[in-house]
């Protein structure tokens, strides 16, 4: 069996904000391509901090973060912008959509600056929106959509540039149970198709549906690391 290099390699990573107790305390973690990792743990245990370091939204105080062969902690600001655009898709609890733009234009945003033609990008956006069951809302403003529909738009935007890695921080945290079930099904189908996913959540049903592996953070350390036998 050949072992491919991990898509995420985190070595001795610590993160301390302003002399507080460390949010992450010497973390080591490897994630392989195709894994769907759920990150669980109590509030304040460092879950979002970990995700933000992988996303290049923040830098570690110490240690190395390598994603898809890129030393993320060492990138310049413009390198980080490019890294996020080309390799990462991110979904947040509160959608982070721009309400001045249509649904379609929100999904097209990541394609700007990538060099693909507008026509190609629009085809891809239409495919994604259709696939996620919201093609008929392409011309609407996100503010007119339900929470579940908004999160589908956010997932479409995250997938626009075919990211090596999809990151999600509490993607069902602001949804009612029916919409949460939709998003759960969507993420589950993406992961069964091989999309690598790191998912931060308190939603154990979501973790159980999507994850091939679960880690639990406590006080900025990995307290548990379980690979699912079945899902
Ligand atoms: N920008 C920041 N400035 C200062 N402290 C921060 C910052 N972000 C996080 N922290 C602190 O770092 C620790 C870890 O926070 P983090 O947001 O990673 O926790 P979390 O596990 O995501 O919690 P939750 O489940 O509530 O979202 C907490 O003590 C938090 O107060
Ligand atoms: Mg958090």
Q: What is the pLDDT of residues 131-144, one digit of tens each?
A: 999 999 999 999 99
Q: What distance in angstroms lies between residue 47's CA and the mean position of ligand 2's atoms?
A: 5
Q: What distance in angstroms lies between residue 2's CA and the mean position of ligand 2's atoms?
A: 35
Closest C-alpha to ligand 1, atom 1: 17
With 0-12 CB in 10 A as exposed, 13-18 as middle and 19+ as buried, what is 219? middle
Closest C-alpha to ligand 1, atom 12: 23
Q: What distance in angstroms lies between residue 135's CA and the mean position of ligand 2's atoms?
A: 31
41 Cβ closer than 6 Å to some ligand 1 atom: yes
94 Cβ closer than 6 Å to some ligand 1 atom: no
Contact 86, 114 (CB under 8 A): yes
Q: How many CA atoms lie within 13 A of 49 on its CB side?
A: 24
| 19: confidence class by pLDDT, cuts 50, 70, 90 | confident
Would you state the pLDDT for residue 195? Answer: 96
Would you state the pLDDT for residue 61? Answer: 97
Domains of the chain (ranges, CATH numbers): 8-227 (3.40.50.300)
In this structure, are strands 165-169 and 88-91 parallel, antiparallel, or unpaired?
Answer: parallel
What are the CA-CA distances from residue 78 to residues 83, 84, 85 (Å)?
9, 10, 11
d(C-alpha 113, C-alpha 152), whole Å: 23
Q: pTM score, two decimals? A: 0.94
220 Cβ closer than 6 Å to some ligand 1 atom: no
Would you state the pLDDT for residue 229? Answer: 64
Q: How large is the average pLDDT for residues 226-231?
A: 74
d(C-alpha 132, C-alpha 152), whole Å: 6
Would you state the pLDDT for residue 20? Answer: 77
201 Cβ closer than 6 Å to some ligand 1 atom: no
| 70: confidence class by pLDDT, cuts 50, 70, 90 | very high
Nearest Cα neighbor of 91 from 130, 144, 132, 31 is 132
Q: What distance in angstroms lies between residue 116's CA and the mean position of ligand 2's atoms?
A: 34
DSSP designation for 220? T
Per-residue model confidence as pLDDT tens digits over 183-216: 999 999 999 999 999 999 999 999 999 999 999 9
Closest C-alpha to ligand 1, atom 11: 23
Radius of gyration for the chain, computed over Cα atoms and rounded to the nearest angstrom = 17
Please indicate whether residue 31 or residue 228 has the higher confidence score (pLDDT). Answer: 31
Closest C-alpha to ligand 1, atom 31: 44
d(C-alpha 22, C-alpha 18), whole Å: 9
Nearest Cα neighbor of 11 from 72, 55, 57, 52 is 72
Q: How large is the average pLDDT for residues 44-62?
A: 97
Contact 221, 210 (CB under 8 A): no
Nearest Cα neighbor of 36 from 204, 168, 158 is 168
Nearest Cα neighbor of 111 from 86, 134, 136, 129 is 86
């Amino acid at each position: 069996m050949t072992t491919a290099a991990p898509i995420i390699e985190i070595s001795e990573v610590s993160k301390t904000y302003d002399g507080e107790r460390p949010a992450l305390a010497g973390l080591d973690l490897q994630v392989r391509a195709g894994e769907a990792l759920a990150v669980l743990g109590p509030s304040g245990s460092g879950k979002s901090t970990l995700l933000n370091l992988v996303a290049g939204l923040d830098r570690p105080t110490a240690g190395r973060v390598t994603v898809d062969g890129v030393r993320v902690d060492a990138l310049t600001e413009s390198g980080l912008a490019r890294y996020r655009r080309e390799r990462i898709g991110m979904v947040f609890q509160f959608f982070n959509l721009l309400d001045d733009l249509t649904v379609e234009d929100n999904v097209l945003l990541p394609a700007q600056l990538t060099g693909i033609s507008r026509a190609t990008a629009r085809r891809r956006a239409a495919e994604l929106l259709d696939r996620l069951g919201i093609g008929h809302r392409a011309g609407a403003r996100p503010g007119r959509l339900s929470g579940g529909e908004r999160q589908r738009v956010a997932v479409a935007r995250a997938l626009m540039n075919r990211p090596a890695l999809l990151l999600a921080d509490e993607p069902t945290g602001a949804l009612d149970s029916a919409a949460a079930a939709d998003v759960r099904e969507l993420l589950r189908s993406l992961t069964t198709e091989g999309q690598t996913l790191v998912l931060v959540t308190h939603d154990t049903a979501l973790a159980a549906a999507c994850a091939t592996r679960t880690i639990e953070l406590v006080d900025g350390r990995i307290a548990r690391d379980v690979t699912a036998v079945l899902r």
